[in-house]
Chain A
Amino acid sequence: MSLSVKHGVAIVVAGEAGQGIQTIESILTMVLKRSGYHVFATKEYMSRIRGGSNSTLIRVGHERTPAHVDRIDVLVPLDDNALEHLASRISRETMIIGERENLQTLHDLLDIPFSGLAEKAGGKIYANTVAIAALLGILEGELNLLEEYLSDRFEKKGKSIVKGNLEAARLGFQAGRELRSSGKTSFDLKKNPETANDILISGGAAVALGAISGGCNFISSYPMSPGTAVLNFMAHHDSQFGIVVEQAEDEIAAVNMALGAWYAGARAMVTTSGGGFALMEEGVSLAGITESPLVVHVGQRPGPATGMATRTEQGDLDLVLHSGHGEFPRIVYAPGSVEEAFQLTRRAFNEADRYQVPVFVLTDQYFIDSYCSVPALDTGTADIEDHTVRTLADYKRYAFTEEGISPRGIPGFGEGLVCVNSHEHTEEGHITEKIQMRNRMMEKRMGKLDPIVRDSVPPTLIGPEKYRVLVICWGSNYHIVAEAVSLLGKDDIAVLHFSQVFPLPPETNELLERAESTIVVENNYTGQFARLLKAYAGLDTGHSIRQYNGRPFCFEALAKKILRLARKGDRK
């Protein structure tokens, strides 16, 4: 089991918050993509604004490898602390590029005087441009594409800034090329011209664009990492798409606003993290009895309480699954790729509208903050599926119908009155405690679960149809687990990824029963998804691999664990 060039080059840029790591990341990835490489980038950072030690990982290659990797092929430390911070990931093969001035302690340094070259170009502020260009030179990217990009990006800052950047780019690129031609670096990467037309998109942007595509025109939230990324994106496009964006005073207000907006005919969502969502639970329960649609994006991060504010975990599945008092149906999606995040968030709005239930999109910090190159998103040509009705004078909001779903009216649209109620209610929406009415209303609400199950998003099977071992995962672990298993190259191990985690798709039992043994991989301590499989499908899953250190799995280590458990076989 070893990594080949197929797995691309893993570059890590590390330094203090505020040193410009994200600028390097955004420019370098875009220019590398335009140069003909697939790129993936993910960052890890501390919960602080300046200082600390943060890093961003950029994978560059001929093939799509959108997953976290621990290995570092090229490290660009911007200060000495970065070396200590990443010590466990630096190996003998790691090539370290930087400027001697900042990295006194290091022996094997490929010295490129970023600041010195920047001074030549007009000032130290261009040091990051030098670094970007040097990496581009080493990887045989296209200098003219970088020049084009820099001209566009800095146009507004004036001619001299553009000129300085272009000069810095030329000098950095030359330095990188020299390293390459001297034989000190050699990465044999093939280019794929089709990537030039790919888009470079983050998980957060994919959720937001999916929401817009699903007709979202109202978002109310309280800022909380990592959910805020979606709120920011929507805010930047409020005029363009006609979206009401409101920063609520707290999460309780946010979710109630979303319910009010749906009631008045908007398509609303809230975006938050587990800690914020905990406050929203009463609103979820209100959605349950009022049969209001609701879309909730929960970007998970480690808890309990404030936990680790900028790290990642899959620890809130149970919370989302059981949120809100009382019993009512819900749908929970957990996208595995940016394409899925776009499609499922879009779908969430249609399903929420169709079944009048809360629909959750469950992501995590790793997913939201990572981005990668993908072929264009399928935005669809069909209009949004609108399930509301123009009301007649005798309209009853909670009418019993043959299909089991009461037509949903909007106040002011039609002649009828729309009366909704947090109490148990009659067909007209008025309070009742009558036994028969309570029974019928409960049965109507819970009865939606059957069509929801029939309408499920099936899990994705990756690998052989005839498998002995099934590696099960959900949400953001999709690419990591898929890459780990593909690294093993075994023809009897397959991966089953769930992007709808509740209710479980009907195929679940059959797919799991076909395996001799199963391994559930998830980023939490207690095995929440494994437990869900047992509770809702009666399936005893066998082995499990769990991680709860606040970091995503890295596929190399994961592959070894999977192999070890796969050899053991048997369910228990």
Chain B
Amino acid sequence: MKESRFDIESAEISWCPGCGNFFILEALKGTFEILRLDPVELVIVSGIGQAGKTPHYLKCNMFNGLHGRSLPLATAVKAANPRQTVIAQGGDGDMYGEGGNHLLHAIRRNPDITVIVHNNMVYGLTKGQASPTSARGFTTGLQVHGVASEPFNPLAMAISLNASFVARTFAGDREGTSRVLAAAIRHRGFALVDILQPCVTFNKVNTYQWFKDRIQPIPHFHDPSDRIKALELAFMTETLPVGVLFVNEDKLTFEEFLPVYDSSDEPLYNRGVNRVELQKVIDLLR
């Protein structure tokens, strides 16, 4: 492993040996180097779960909040200071289960943040229950008769909501993941990156080999502005296309829409109260 200025000496990593999260962590560091980011200008917001621990293992600003709530938090961080690079990070349970409603609305709102989902199709932190992306019939200590629900399709959902950037990668492909993550962070607007990630302890079905047998790079001729084609890719289940599925460059971001930044991108912490205007408003009540 290369040394990175995002390495943190004190980190005592609590993931299982062989966990896909390690690859994602390395891919992230690689991405930040590609983008020449300064840790000071980077904020990573996470919720709860093994994936949610990621910012603890990186040198950057961090808000490790509550289960499923990273998106409203990240949206607000970016809205209060558009100069920061803001990433929200979590697992499939965190982003698609507990935080599902926030995901829908964050896509609609389109803040300029990057959402990274470690999708291992199982709950790791609570020891092996089904997640929203677990396949039908997947049996666990809790889903003893197998999962009855249809698995959640995050890519199709995001594309159907006209999300401005939708991609999928495989944790085992560190370089490919880094490349896509860099594009996602550079993208102006809401970017969703779903990372297929094996859980070596609790998911004995969706293993490294299982993913390797199914992933397929998105063909070079795919036009990511073609929403219908992107949806077709998202609906594929026999093979799992990886790469950038959909990009919509034409959407205004949440921050761009806020009148607060019409004339300046000065963060809110640098602004005072306009007491002259305040007095004017009060005088109108006379």
Write out the residue numbers on chain B whose beta carbons fall within 8 Å of the beta carbon of A566: none
Contacts A257-B72, A266-B80 given; does A243 touch B260 at CB 8 Å: yes
Say whether A264 faces chain B, with CB atoms less than 8 Å apart: yes
Q: Is the CB of B73 within 8 A of A259?
A: yes
> B residues 194-219 with Cβ under 8 Å of A?
none
Give the number of A-B contacts (CB < 8 Å): 203
Per-position binary interface string of chain A over residues 231-262, scored 1 when its CB falls under 8 Å from any chain B CB and 0 otherwise: 00000011111111010111011101111110
Per-position binary interface string of chain A over residues 401-424, scored 1 when its CB falls under 8 Å from any chain B CB and 0 otherwise: 000000000111111111111110
Q: Is the CB of B286 within 8 A of A264?
A: no
Say whether B162 faces chain A, with CB atoms less than 8 Å apart: no
Which partner residue on chain A sits nearest B61 by CB separation?
A411
- Inter-chain CA distance A378–B148, complex, in Å, is 62
Q: Is the CB of A264 within 8 A of B84?
A: yes
Per-position binary interface string of chain A over residues 175-205, scored 1 when its CB falls under 8 Å from any chain B CB and 0 otherwise: 0000000000000000000001111110001
Contacts A212-B273, A237-B281, A260-B63 given; does A412 touch B76 at CB 8 Å: no
> A residues 538-566 with Cβ under 8 Å of B?
none
Write out the residue numbers on chain B whose beta carbons fall within 8 Å of the beta carbon of A250: 101
Which of B74, B272, B285, B286 meets A215, CB within 8 Å? B272
Which partner residue on chain A sits nearest B45 by CB separation?
A260
Q: Which of A94-102, A329-337, A428-436, A512-520 touches B?
A: A428-436
Q: Is the CB of A240 within 8 A of B277?
A: yes
Q: Is the CB of B286 within 8 A of A256?
A: no
Write out the residue numbers on chain B whose beta carbons fall within 8 Å of the beta carbon of A429: 62
Which partner residue on chain A sits nearest B47 by CB separation?
A422
- Inter-chain CA distance A201–B285, complex, in Å, is 7
With a 10 A CB-CB cut-off, give which of A197, A263, A410, A429 has the most chain B CB atoms: A263
With a 10 A CB-CB cut-off, give which of A200, A237, A419 has the most chain B CB atoms: A419
Q: Is the CB of B102 within 8 A of A218?
A: no
Say whether B64 faces chain A, with CB atoms less than 8 Å apart: yes
Interface residues on A, range: 35 or more
Q: Is the CB of B104 within 8 A of A241?
A: no
Q: Is the CB of B64 within 8 A of A263?
A: no
Q: Is the CB of A218 within 8 A of B62?
A: no
Write out the residue numbers on chain B whose beta carbons fall within 8 Å of the beta carbon of A215: 272-273
Chain A's nearest CB lies how many Å from the CB of B242? Answer: 30
Write out the residue numbers on chain B whose beta carbons fall within 8 Å of the beta carbon of A265: 80-81, 267-270
Contacts A209-B281, A260-B75, A266-B268 given; does A244 touch B286 at CB 8 Å: no
Say whether B150 faces chain A, with CB atoms less than 8 Å apart: no
Per-position binary interface string of chain A over residues 54-92, scored 1 when its CB falls under 8 Å from any chain B CB and 0 otherwise: 000000000000000000000000000000000000000
> A residues 497-537 with Cβ under 8 Å of B?
none
Say whether A368 faces chain B, with CB atoms less than 8 Å apart: no
Q: Is the CB of A417 within 8 A of B62?
A: yes
Which of A217, A376, A417 meets B60, CB within 8 Å? A417
Q: Is chain A's binding surface mostly helix, strand, loop or mixed?
A: mixed
Say whether B126 faces chain A, with CB atoms less than 8 Å apart: no
Q: Is the CB of A261 within 8 A of B10?
A: no
Give the size of the chain B interface in residues (CB under 8 angstroms): 58
Contacts A253-B102, A253-B105 given; does A241 touch B274 at CB 8 Å: yes
Chain A's nearest CB lies how many Å from the CB of B256? Answer: 13
Q: Is the CB of B281 within 8 A of A240?
A: yes
Q: Is the CB of B277 within 8 A of A217?
A: no
Write out the residue numbers on chain B whose beta carbons fall within 8 Å of the beta carbon of A241: 273-274, 277-278
Say whether B7 faces chain A, with CB atoms less than 8 Å apart: no
- Inter-chain CA distance A17–B274, complex, in Å, is 37
Write out the residue numbers on chain A whose beta carbons fall within 8 Å of the beta carbon of B260: 217, 238-239, 242-244
Which partner residue on chain B sits nearest A196 by CB separation?
B286
Write out the residue numbers on chain B whose beta carbons fall within 8 Å of the beta carbon of A413: 267, 269
Which of A238, A388, A416 meets B259, CB within 8 Å? A238
Per-position binary interface string of chain A over residues 443-487, scored 1 when its CB falls under 8 Å from any chain B CB and 0 otherwise: 000000000000000000000000000000000000000000000
Write out the residue numbers on chain A whose beta carbons fall within 8 Å of the beta carbon of B76: 218, 220, 256-261, 263-264, 266, 268
Write out the residue numbers on chain B whose beta carbons fall within 8 Å of the beta carbon of A416: 40
Which of A199, A209, A282, A383 meets B286, CB within 8 Å? A199
- Inter-chain CA distance A248–B76, complex, in Å, is 11
Say whether A144 faces chain B, with CB atoms less than 8 Å apart: no
Say whether A286 faces chain B, with CB atoms less than 8 Å apart: yes
Q: Is the CB of A420 within 8 A of B268?
A: no
Say whether B188 faces chain A, with CB atoms less than 8 Å apart: no
Write out the residue numbers on chain A whose beta carbons fall within 8 Å of the beta carbon of B273: 212-215, 241, 383-384
Chain A's nearest CB lies how many Å from the CB of B62? Answer: 4
Write out the residue numbers on chain B whose beta carbons fall within 8 Å of the beta carbon of A420: 62-64
> B residues 230-286 with Cβ under 8 Å of A?
258-260, 262, 267-275, 277-279, 281-283, 285-286
Write out the residue numbers on chain B whose beta carbons fall within 8 Å of the beta carbon of A161: none
Contacts A209-B282, A256-B66, A411-B61 given; does A261 touch B39 at CB 8 Å: no
Say whether B168 faces chain A, with CB atoms less than 8 Å apart: no
For this complex, 16 residue pairs linking A to B, each with C-beta atoms less than 8 Å apart, are A205-B285, A217-B268, A240-B274, A242-B268, A242-B271, A244-B80, A256-B72, A265-B267, A266-B268, A286-B65, A413-B267, A418-B61, A419-B64, A422-B65, A422-B66, A428-B10
Beyond contacts A413-B269, A431-B53: 7 other A-B pairs, Cβ-Cβ < 8 A, are A201-B285, A239-B260, A260-B74, A260-B75, A264-B80, A388-B269, A417-B61
6 closest Cβ pairs, A-B complex: A265-B269, A260-B76, A264-B80, A260-B73, A411-B61, A249-B105
Residues in chain A within 8 A of chain B (CB atoms): 196-201, 205, 209, 212-215, 217-218, 220, 237-244, 246, 248-250, 252-254, 256-261, 263-268, 282-283, 286, 290, 376-377, 379, 381, 383-384, 388, 410-423, 428-431
